[in-house]
Structure 1
Amino acid sequence: MSSDCIFCAIVAGAAPSAPIAETESTFAFMDIRPGSDGHLLVVPKRHSTDLRDIPAEDLSAVVLESQRIAKHAFDAWGADGVNLLNCCGADAWQTVFHFHMHVIPRYRDKDKDRLRLPFEPGVRGDQELIGSLAASIRAALGEG
Structure 2
Amino acid sequence: MSDAESLFERIIAREVPAEIVWESDTVLAFRDINPQAKTHVLVVPKKRFRNVAELAAEPELLADVITAAAKVAELEGITESGYRVVFNTELDAGQTVFHVHAHVLGGEQLGFFGRHSG
TM over 0.5: yes
Gaps of 5+ in 2: none
1:60 equivalent to 2:56? Answer: no
> Higher relative contact order at CA 8 Å, sep ≥6: structure 1 or structure 2?
2
Q: State the shift of 1:67 in Å.
A: 1.1
1:70 equivalent to 2:66? Answer: no
Stretch deviating more after TM superposition (51-60 or 17-26): 51-60
Deviations 1:32-74 (A, max 9, x none): 0100122110000011110121122221110111012113333
The residue identity in structure 1 corresponding to 2:50 is T
Report the TM-score, using the length of structure 2 for normalisation: 0.82
**1:70, 1:43 → 2: CA distance?**
15
Deviations 1:80-109 (A, max 9, x none): 32111111111111111000000001414x
Moved over 2 A (4+): 71-75, 78-81, 115-121
Q: State the shift of 1:119 in Å.
A: 3.6
Contact 1:88 / 1:94 at 8 angstroms: preserved in 2? yes
Contact 1:73 / 1:79 at 8 angstroms: preserved in 2? no
Report the TM-score, using the length of structure 1 for normalisation: 0.69
The residue matched to 2:15 in structure 1 has which SS? coil
Alignment match, 1:5: 6
Alignment match, 1:126: none
Q: State the shift of 1:25 in Å.
A: 0.2
Comparing both structures, which one devotes a greater share of its residues to strand? 2
Contact 1:27 / 1:45 at 8 angstroms: preserved in 2? yes
**2:32, 2:82 → 1: CA distance?**
18
Alignment match, 2:114: 118
**2:37, 2:16 → 1: CA distance?**
23
Give the RMSD, CA atoms, in angstroms.
2.6
Contact 1:79 / 1:105 at 8 angstroms: preserved in 2? no
Alignment match, 1:85: 86
Alignment match, 1:47: 48
Alignment match, 1:140: none
Gaps of 5+ in 1: 124-144
The residue identity in structure 1 corresponding to 2:53 is R
